[in-house]
Amino acid sequence: CVHAVMDSIPPRAPDEALVLMGHGTVHFANAAYCQLEHIFRTEGYSQVYVGTVDGYPTLDTIVPWLQAEGIRHVMLMPFMIVAGDHARNDLSGSDEHSWKSRLEASGFSTHTICRGLGELPAIARQLASHLVTS
């Protein structure tokens, strides 16, 4: 999954990060998002951050990390099977509460890739491989 995501985006500049938005939950399974970010790091993608709408880490958690790393440009992408309401509104919407607006208010330039994971060929193949027919 990590490589499928990274193969689907343009190369990043040294002062650019990819911020992925997952849904999140209050359930303990939410820890998978922190594990996912760790896997990005161990696979060599140091400037990838994973945040959630309803869980931890939040965008408020990520912004100081971006600032500490000298990031100036942020590529935003949903980490969801489809780029639906959360991607269109919470991630890239024009209202002041969207991640895009909040990052820009914090001084970052942003670029949104509004594409769900299901649109990535490698992810679609993986999902299809799990289908069972009877």
Residue 38 bears catalytic tag: no
Catalytic residue among 3, 23, 38, 111: 23
End-to-end CA distance of the chain: give it in Å, rounded: 27
53: left (phi over 0), alpha (psi -120 to 50) or beta: alpha
Contact present, 3 and 119 (Cβ < 8 Å)? no
Q: Which two tokens stand for residue 94?
A: 């024009």
Spatial separation of the C-alpha atoms in residues 40 and 29, rounded to whole Å: 18
Residues identified as active-site: 23
